[in-house]
Amino acid sequence: MKIAILPGDGIGTEIVAEAVKVLNVLDLTFETETALVGGAAFEAHGHPLPEATLKLAKDADAVLFGAVGDWKYDKLDRPLRPEQAILGLRKNLGLFANFRPAICYPQLVDASSLKRELVSGLDILIIRELTGDIYFGQPRGRRVSPDGHFPGAEEAFDTMRYSRPEIERIAHVAFQAARKRSKRVTSVDKANVLETFQFWKDIVTEVGLQYPDVELDHMYVDNAAMQLVRAPKKFDVVVTGNMFGDILSDAAAMLTGSIGMLPSASLNDKNQGLYEPSHGSAPDIAGKGVANPLATILSAAMMLRFSLNQPESAARIEKAVDAVLSQGLRTPDIHSEGMTQVGTAAMGDAVVRALTA
């Protein structure tokens, strides 16, 4: 088993270090190699995704990724910005299927900004298409407007597009995931306005005919955003495009108490995967030792389950995380009265102790 470790920027290095600590106490042997990515790689090599880093990721069975980005790079040309590293990895490795499970641990119901009864027992799975849509659609750019409301004015544009095979494969992923859960899929679109998402809806419906045992419904994205904060437990598996999935998964994260709890897996058709917390590099708290490492530790568990075929070790990590929460340990983002506030390393150490106890 070969794991590429790409900590990245900001809190990325701190949280990945804790996940590595956890991996190292499992009785497993794997080869790991660490490389720079994002702003850190730009500083050292002039590019956010150097050839060597990309090759390392391609040759590995799995990539454990921290986070990239810092405001100080916002002025760089787009191809040199840290975010291009994660987009480039997704595209180059063909990681089209992004799993973002939002689970509200019973210990954390009071950390959520929503009422206890709305989130208690919450367990939903957002499946986000990750290599298409307006994120990658060409053409895009800036130009002098040839037409439109203000011909001759400066304008910028992106292209939202999806091909049939792209929609079919993510729909299959969603229906198959639903078969292992409560057999319900909600496909989120904007078919009332966008051609791309009428096509999306038509194709998901078509694929759904091959899964008569799975119940499929469709929801417009604006309504889905509202339902996520009104009655989130009505959802089970949610499948949607890249842009809507980006937005809805951040909203779903808050249901669980903190985005610091949300792991993610991004898979290609060979089950090679990139595993990262759903949150960003949080430059405002970087270097302070206060970031929550649990999303990254839980991402490492997903890595063991999905790409490395070690479901027992994955379950052990998940149980250990549950145990430290039961012990009352909390990083600041999930802290509430009566709990013990700890920093990043202490939280990682506690997971290690729970694992080895």
Catalytic residue IDs: 135, 190, 222, 246, 250
Please report whether residue 246 would count as binding ligand IPM according to CB under 6 A: yes
With CB under 5 A as the contact rule, which of the stretches 23-31, 160-168, 240-248, 301-309 interacts with Mg ion?
Answer: 240-248
Q: Which does 158 bind (CB under 5 to 8 A by kind): Mg ion, ligand IPM, none?
A: none
Is the CB of 78 or the CB of 149 nearer to Mg ion?
78
Q: Please give the backbone phi and psi of residue 111, each rounded to the nearest 5 degrees, phi first.
A: -85, -15
Indicate the residue whose CB is closest to Mg ion: 246
Q: Please give the backbone phi and psi of residue 51, each rounded to the nearest 5 degrees, phi first.
A: -50, -45
By rule CB under 5 A, what count of residues binds Mg ion?
1
Min dist CB 338 to Mg ion, Å, is 32
Q: Which CA distances in Å does 259 have to 12, 210, 252, 254, 328?
A: 14, 35, 9, 6, 18
Secondary structure (DSSP) of 290-353? -S--HHHHHHHHHHHHHTS--HHHHHHHHHHHHHHHHTTEE-GGG--TTSEE--HHHHHHHHHH
Among residue numbers 256 through 295, which ones bind ligand IPM (CB under 6 A)? Answer: 280
User: How far apart, in whole angstroms, are the C-alpha atoms of residue 187 and residue 184?
Assistant: 10
Q: Which CA distances in Å does 26 have to 86, 251, 319?
A: 28, 33, 13
Secondary structure (DSSP) of 61-96? SEEEEEE---GGGTTS-GGGSTHHHHHHHHHHHT--
- The residue from 1, 2, 76, 83 that contacts ligand IPM (CB under 6 A) is 83
User: How far apart, in whole angstroms, are the C-alpha atoms of residue 15 and residue 291?
Assistant: 7
Min dist CB 238 to ligand IPM, Å, is 15
Is the CB of 96 or the CB of 211 nearer to Mg ion?
96
Please report whether residue 110 would count as binding Mg ion according to CB under 5 A: no
By rule CB under 6 A, what count of residues binds ligand IPM?
6
Min dist CB 100 to ligand IPM, Å, is 8
Say what the alpha-carbon torsion angle 27, 341, 250, 50 is, to the nearest 10 degrees: -50
Binding to Mg ion by CB under 5 A, coded x per residue (else -) over 243-282, reads ---x------------------------------------
With CB under 6 A as the contact rule, which of the stretches 5-13, 14-22, 81-89, 325-333 interacts with ligand IPM?
Answer: 81-89
Secondary structure (DSSP) of 249-303? HHHHHHHTS-GGG---EEE-TTS-EEE--SS---TTTTTTT-S--HHHHHHHHHH
- The residue from 11, 23, 26, 86 that contacts ligand IPM (CB under 6 A) is 86
Q: Is the distance from CB of 227 to CB of 251 less than 8 angstroms?
A: no
Is the CB of 3 or the CB of 262 nearer to Mg ion?
262
Structure tokens at 184: 């319900």
Binding to ligand IPM by CB under 6 A, coded x per residue (else -) over 9-48, reads ----------------------------------------
Q: Which does 83 bind (CB under 5 to 8 A by kind): ligand IPM, Mg ion, none?
A: ligand IPM
Tell me which residue has tokens 């012990």.
327
Q: Which residues bind ligand IPM (CB under 6 A)?
A: 69, 83, 86-87, 246, 280
Q: Which residues bind Mg ion (CB under 5 A)?
A: 246
